[in-house]
A and B are shown apart, each in its own frame.
Chain A
Amino acid sequence: DIVMTQSPDSQAVSLGERATINCKSSQSVLYSSNNKNYLAWYQQKPGQPPKLLIYWASTRESGVPDRFSGSGSGTDFTLTISSLQAEDVAVYYCQQYYGIPFTFGPGTKVDIK
């Protein structure tokens, strides 16, 4: 199984400041035949289901604000919130879909400082 890890576990960021979340996979999720990284990011607010933000490591889902961006390749990935808004307080999960079982990272909680 591909194990996903995230850092930090939590972070508090001032409004308008940048938040950066890291995700690492235990093996590469880059598929060489199409040069795509099988990595997605979700946002989950309390009492709500997960919401897809990004897939293919850097493709923003329709309707997701452009302050959210994804980067990285192979085994190391980053989700960046360029200017944190109050509504961004949530837990963020990375997920690999390179192989079965699909696996999620443990989550990173983002709060306002």
Chain B
Amino acid sequence: EVQLAESGGGLVQPGRSLRLSCTISGFTFGDYAMTWVRQAPGKGLEWVSFIRSKAYGGTTEYAASVKGRFTISGDDSKTIAYLQMNSLKTEDTAMYYCGAALTTPGGVFDIWGQGTMVTVSS
């Protein structure tokens, strides 16, 4: 069964770092495009980051609000996708979801995890 499961969220002080993990079941990282999307409490969805599949070069994209601070990657075992978040700001407080495009075009995500909450506060 294809599944995604996020972990690594928590309470962190402004300026600190956090690494989110998205554990993949049923497929291999790199075979499909993946994304991170976040949702601040009571707000709408905000796209954060995207990585193309290996077949499309595995290149990455970022929202302007996180570019230079966040990095999307995968591990060598190809079962985990990461979102490394540095220089965190209070406005990064949100539920973070990872998604994958298994049967859909690269910018459309048909598989999602349940999310992990990140709270940035002193």
Interface string of A33-63 (1 = CB under 8 A from B): 0000010101010001111100110000110
Contact in complex: B104, A55 (CB < 8 Å): yes
Given contacts A93-B45, A101-B61, A103-B47, contact A50 B37 (CB under 8 A): yes
Which residues on the A side are within 8 Å of B114 (C-beta)?
A: 48-49
Bin chain B's interface residue count: 20 to 34
Give B39 Cβ to nearest chain A Cβ, in Å. Answer: 8
Residues of chain A at interface, number, CB under 8 A: 26
Do residues A97 and B45 form an inter-chain contact, with CB atoms below 8 A?
no
| B91 interface contact, C-beta 8 A | no
Interface of B is mostly: loop
Establish whether residues B110 and A101, one from each chain, have CB atoms under 8 Å apart when the complex forms: no
Chain B residue at smallest Cβ distance from A62? B103
The secondary structure that dominates the A interface is: loop
Also in contact, A52 and B104, with CB within 8 A (given A100-B61, A101-B61):
yes
The answer to whether A97 touches B108, judged by C-beta atoms less than 8 angstroms apart, is yes
Q: Are B61 and A52 in contact (CB under 8 A)?
A: no
Q: Which of B81-107 touch A at CB < 8 Å? A: 97, 99, 103-107
Q: Indicate whether A101 sits within 8 Å of B64 (C-beta atoms), given known contacts A49-B112, A49-B113, A107-B44.
A: yes
In the complex, the answer to whether B110 meets A61 with C-beta atoms within 8 Å is yes
> Which A positions have Cβ atoms within 8 angstroms of B?
38, 40, 42, 44, 48-52, 55-56, 61-62, 91, 93, 95, 97-98, 100-107
